[in-house]
Chains A and B, each alone.
Chain A
Amino acid sequence: QVQLIQSGAEVKKPGSSVKVSCKSSGYTFTDFSLHWVRRAPGQGLEWVAWINSKNGRANYAQKFQGRVTLTRDTSVTTAYMELSRLRSDDTAIYYCARDRRYYASGNYEYWGQGTLVNVSS
């Protein structure tokens, strides 16, 4: 069965960086795009970025341009999201989500369990 397993919760200081991993299994990793979505406390879902799992090209929401970097390692079927210059309003649960297509269709069939990133001084 398809599984997306994310790395554990992180506590970070403002201005630092965090890297979250998303290990995929149960399907051909390069056949589907992966997205990152976050939910801040009391807020809705917010799309962060997506990566083409086959060629590694990534696109980012304008709000996060310059602060977020997506990568993937096909040898271990794992995607990574690194967010830098963290601020307190980056405190959120970050989810990886597998698209139904190899391109970005915005329809996410499987989700990771979520990774809490707490930014606090």
Chain B
Amino acid sequence: QSVLTQPPSVSAAPGQKVTISCSGSISNIGNNYVSWYRLLPGTAPTLVIYENDKRPSGISDRFSGSKSDTTVTLGISGLQTGDEAEYFCGTWDSSLSAGVFGGGTKLTV
């Protein structure tokens, strides 16, 4: 059972926009920055959003992040088949003094 809650799967057609939510509590999302990671089979995770809403260099501006209270949301617009992957949210939990992740969301385009 993951500390952060994500939907197991989302799907949308090419060109559309999809959002993936990640819910937590005051001790994690509420008081700490959140990152989003993309996982493809056989490869290491790739950071796509950090500090809730910032994009690393090299990440398309089709990726966006937002936060409201204890929920963060990853948005991907102009969907491409290459965006198909598993996406995880992660942050620090100040009560647990531990890193925490969501269970992951499988995106199908």
Contacts and interface: CB of A to CB of B under 8 A. Distances in A.
Interface of A: 35, 37, 44-47, 50, 59, 61-62, 95, 97, 100, 104-114
Given A44-B88, A44-B103, A59-B97, A109 B50 contact: yes
A47 B93 CA distance: 11
B104 to A, nearest CB: 5
Given A61-B98, A107-B51, A95 B56 contact: no
Interface of B: 2, 32-35, 37, 39, 44-47, 50-51, 56, 88, 90-93, 96-104
Q: Interface SS of chain A: helix, strand, loop or mixed? A: strand
A62 B100 CA distance: 12
Contacts of B44: 95, 111-114
A97 to B, nearest CB: 8
Contact of B101 (A46, A109, A113): A46
A107 B91 contact: yes
Contacts of A106: 32-35, 90-93, 99-100
A13 B44 CA distance: 25
A56 B96 CA distance: 20
A100 B98 CA distance: 16
B98 A47 contact: yes
B50 A47 contact: no
A44 B2 contact: yes
Contacts of A37: 45, 99, 101
B104 A44 contact: yes
B102 A44 contact: yes
A7 B32 CA distance: 32
Given A95-B44, A114-B44, A107 B50 contact: yes
A61 to B, nearest CB: 5
A108 B100 contact: no
Contacts of A114: 44
Given A47-B99, A111-B45, 9 more contacts: A37-B45, A37-B99, A47-B100, A62-B98, A105-B32, A106-B100, A107-B50, A107-B91, A109-B47
A112 B41 CA distance: 15
